[in-house]
């Protein structure tokens, strides 16, 4: 994809799943990557595995503390120009509302919502000054359709789509591109790492994600949408891809289906 050739792309959640697949494809496309996740050693392994590893850099951040992460990133990046920020880091949830601690809701919001805002606000002034740049956030179909066991995740993803809509409206005058990616069911470790009611990881897959499209296919379709500078795109297959359409035009049907699942 020529669109990414020579561009500096800051990618969060880069050490696994969709983020890792994006990193591999962006490196092949000639991008210069800033790779972010929590663990420096995992990121370094990713960097070394990519095409032209010398072009890329590692920046380990803990987005459960977004303000501190933004300060660390500011110190590390200095005046470096970021052409594209891809907010991909996130954590999901698998627990009933009645059984979920408030601390879990806060953790979901810190990573999935406030983390996006903190890094976006960090890079935005320079993009506005240059009148060039693209902000991308990987949200979810769960940001359009609420389901059981994901109340906190749904809330964070609904919120981040609203934030991106506002950002898009405000940045139009500066010529910046704002893109929301909404994956459906993707076959990654997202369920394994999902938070349960007490904040521990679920530790196993669920049938929905296990039956989804591959991380590589999701990454490819997402990057195609980014290159086309689309405002919003749903990526997936089957019911998870249709869900936002059905929610918009047949909300009663969707409510009944979700209640029965």
Cβ-Cβ contacts under 8 Å for 84 (sequence gap 6 or more): 4, 7, 8, 9, 10, 133, 134, 135, 136, 226
How far lies 75's CA from each of 14, 68, 70, 78, 255, in Å? 20, 11, 9, 6, 47
153 is annotated as an active-site residue: yes
Q: In whole angstroms, what is the distance from residue 99 CA to residue 113 CA? A: 22
Cβ-Cβ contacts under 8 Å for 204 (sequence gap 6 or more): 191, 192
Cβ-Cβ contacts under 8 Å for 43 (sequence gap 6 or more): 14, 15, 35, 36, 37, 58, 59, 60
Structure tokens at 196: 């349960």
The full 3-state SS of 98-128, as one line of letters, equals HHCCHHHHHHHHHHHHHHHHHHHHHHHHHHH
Instruction: Tell me how long the chain is.
Output: 261
Structure tokens at 134: 């693209």
3-state helix, strand, coil in the chain (%, to 5): 55, 15, 30
Q: Are strands 232-235 and 32-36 parallel, antiparallel or unpaired?
A: unpaired
Choice among 3, 105, 113, 153 that is catalytic: 153
Active-site residue set: 153
């Amino acid at each position: 994809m020529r669109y990414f050739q020579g561009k500096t792309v800051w990618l969060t959640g880069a050490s696994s799943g969709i983020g890792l697949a994006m990193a591999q494809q962006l490196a092949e496309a000639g991008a210069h990557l800033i790779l972010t996740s929590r663990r420096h050693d995992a990121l370094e392994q990713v960097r070394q595995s990519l095409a032209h590893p010398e072009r890329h850099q590692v920046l380990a951040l803990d987005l459960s503390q977004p303000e501190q992460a933004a300060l660390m990133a500011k110190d590390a990046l200095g005046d470096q120009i970021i052409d594209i920020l891809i907010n991909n880091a996130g954590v999901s949830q698998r627990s009933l509302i009645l059984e979920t601690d408030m601390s879990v809701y806060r953790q979901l919001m810190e990573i999935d919502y406030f983390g996006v805002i903190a890094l976006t606000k960090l890079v935005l002034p320079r993009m506005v000054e240059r009148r060039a740049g693209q902000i991308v956030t990987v949200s979810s179909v769960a940001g359009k359709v609420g389901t059981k066991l994901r109340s906190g995740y749904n809330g964070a993803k609904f919120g981040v789509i609203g934030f991106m809509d506002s950002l898009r409206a405000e940045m139009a005058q500066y010529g910046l591109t704002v893109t929301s990616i909404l994956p459906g069911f993707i076959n990654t470790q997202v369920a394994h790492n999902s938070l349960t009611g007490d904040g521990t990881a679920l530790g196993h897959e669920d049938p929905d994600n296990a039956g989804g499209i591959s991380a590589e296919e999701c990454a490819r379709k997402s990057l195609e949408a980014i290159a086309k500078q689309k405002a919003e795109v749903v990526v997936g297959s089957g019911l998870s891809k249709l869900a936002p359409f059905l929610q918009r035009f047949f909300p009663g049907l969707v409510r009944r289906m979700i209640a029965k699942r």
